[in-house]
Amino acid sequence: MKYTNKLNQILLLFIFPILTYSQGSYNLTLLGEFEWQNTEGSDIWGWYNPNNGYEYALVGLNDGFSCVDVTNPTNPTEMFYISSKNSTWRDVKTWNNYAYVTTEADTGLLIVDLNDMTGQTHWYVTNFTNPVNGSSTEFTSAHNLYIDENGIAYIFGAGSNSGSNPSDGVIFLDVESNPTNPYYLGEWGDHYIHDGMARGDTLYAGCINIGELYIIDVSDKNNPIVLGNRPTPSNFSHNIWVSDDGNYVFTTDEKSNAFIGSYDITNLSNIIEIDRIQSNPGSNSVPHNTHVDGNFLITSWYRDGTVVHDITYPDNIIQVAYFDSYIGGGNNGPNNGFDGCWGTYPYLPSGNIISSDINSSSSQSGRLLVFRRDFQQACFLKGNVTDLNSSLPLSGVKVEIISPILNFETTNILGDYSTGVPTAGTFDIIFSKACYLSDTITLSMLNGIVTTLDIALEPSFISSSFNGGAIDNSIGNGGFFNGDQHLIFNSYQECIIKSANIYSEGSNTITFELRNNNGNVIDDTTLNILSGLQNIILNFEVPVGNNMQLGVSQGSLYNSGLYRNSTGAIFPYDIGPLITITGTSAQSGSSYYYFYYDIEVDVSCGNATFTSEVLNRDRKLLKTIDILGRENNIKTNNLLIFIYDDGTVERKIITK
């Protein structure tokens, strides 16, 4: 799912087929793998030995650190393993022939000399001093690290078990001057940093606890200066990476149903979100870490595996490849979705991509995967949609490309859209909007080429009513539920949620609520409910928007629950071209479905535009209908629509 414009940003959904092995794969080929026994995997980095041309995967494990030779990708071979204290978190980066490993276990910074492939040459360092001014710091744990092109290590989320108070923002260490005993340079501690990266004198940081990306001038390590900051889509800023040209950053939020966000940072006083996208909308899957690799983003997406997006145009991100390495999806189960792919590394000279999995091996332990790239630059499509009669731009038009990877987008307030597909071919492109006649265009598209397609839609004067969502509670298992959960949906046009079916455990008084994406109530109704199946009248006025909520007021169900399915839901659910239900608020599973069944949504077409050209006097009247589309005998003082055989229509009010 994605946003596509700076003005009135509108959502885009990429919908992928659900296969037996979850999503399967597309444009990534598994060349080889290596499995560990009785330990789970965490983060990964790569190392190339310029002396012999060998490539290595450096993998953090719950109980240590592993170095695997992946020069022959079909036969990965572990060279050495260093045992250490157990920790879920173990992250790795390199400088020259040294690997640097952080962990939440209290072992300090592990430094490994990779010239010794026995693994015997390594150090644990906890104290760091500045040789010039004598300042120092001490840490025994850290969440993550990054090393820039100047040999400066950035230690994120540090802590200590010795009573010292290291910065949990970032600590700067010089690993170039002394690789085995790095010098302390300074720190920044305004906010906790979960992860980040740096280039030149600029740090790009994910401040997860406050849900914002931060961009910081670190040219003076003793006095870093914040250049800009802004919230990320799910307010849980986990990871960030800057584009090669330095004009954009991309972020992930480590939450169920979250996004990759794309930002224009050319004006640091006004950082603008220009796009957002999900790997598998409606699955409730959790993104983890994304890395810029030229015109591509390579992302570890937990249960969705390794995912690749084309970012040639950062305001039109297109998914071009994926390999789902974990059986199962969403966020259900004891790990709440934190299974599958932890990390990925796309920078080996061979071009192969290496990924580390937490628990996807045959023994549900850690696994290393080596992939060949089969993807290329996407095929891009953009254009503008207008009203055929008025030539005014149309917002909220659904633009759907029928391809092996289905996708659709909606036009913005200016009528503009931008989308694409991963592979060249000839595709049917469907344009649809309530109160307009749909149109289908067949178009050939080429990789790396932007195709422009403008179209005008003909107004339809018939008011429309659509039903959707789960049709009833027979979709799977379930039961009556007393908690505060809701459906999440996107609205592409102003409309009315008129009614829905519910199943009540008993008689009750319930306030049903429509909320915006911040959870604020924008419409509600309180009804006296009887036991069993019944249809309730809601008449909620729905604006255009994303991630809106359809639920009940907190505490309404304490005395008597409403039925919800715990299995069987298959998101997304489209309700005509008006609404898409993308998921639920449940943190325990993507197959849950809450309360509202067979939802009826209405839209009035009274504002559709019509031409007032000179009429053909030889035309014949075909029929007369009212504003709801019902055939109507001519009555006075009613708005009637006259339909003629030449395709023209007239709206008239007949008076006495």
313-364 pLDDT, tens digit each: 999 999 999 999 988 766 666 677 789 999 999 999 999 999 999 998 888 8
Q: Is residue 271's pLDDT more than 80?
A: yes
Question: Which one-letter DSSP state was computed for residue 556?
Answer: T
Nearest to 597, CA basis, from 621, 623, 573, 622:
573
Nearest to 487, CA basis, from 517, 532, 531:
517
Q: How far is CA 646 from the centre of its chain?
A: 48
C-alpha distances out from residue 26 to 219, 316, 369, 454, Å = 42, 20, 15, 30
* pTM for the structure as a whole: 0.79
Q: Is residue 638's pLDDT more than 70?
A: no
Pairing of strands 41-49, 54-61: antiparallel
Q: Give me the percent of the chain exceeding a pLDDT of 90.
A: 73
Q: Is residue 467's pLDDT more than 60?
A: yes
Q: Is residue 385's pLDDT more than 90?
A: yes
Query: Going from the N-terminus, what domains does the chain have, and what CATH number goes with each?
Result: 19-373 (2.130.10.10), 379-457 (2.60.40.1120), 464-603 (2.60.120.820), 621-653 (no CATH)
Give pLDDT, residue 645.
Answer: 55
pLDDT band at 366 (very low <50, low <70, confident <90, very high): very high
pLDDT tens, 15-74?
A: 233 322 344 899 999 999 999 999 999 999 999 999 999 999 999 999 999 999 999 999
Q: Is residue 489's pLDDT more than 90?
A: yes
Q: Is residue 656's pLDDT more than 50?
A: no
3-state secondary structure of 194: coil
- Mean pLDDT, rounded, for 221-237: 96
pLDDT tens, 78-121?
A: 999 999 999 999 999 999 999 999 999 999 999 999 999 999 99
pLDDT tens, 231-266?
A: 999 899 999 999 999 999 999 999 988 999 999 999
3-state secondary structure of 474: helix
The region, left, alpha or beta by phi > 0 then psi within -120 to 50, assigned to residue 141 is beta
C-alpha distances out from residue 293 to 298, 334, 347, 455, Å = 7, 33, 7, 35
Q: What is the mean pLDDT of the chain?
A: 89
Extract the runs of DSSP E, i.e. beta strands, from 358-403.
Answer: 367-373, 379-387, 398-402
Nearest to 363, CA basis, from 38, 21, 34:
38
Q: Is residue 597's pLDDT more than 80?
A: yes
Sequence-separated (6 or more) residues with CB below 8 Å from residue 342: 41, 42, 43, 44, 288, 289, 300, 302, 356, 357, 358
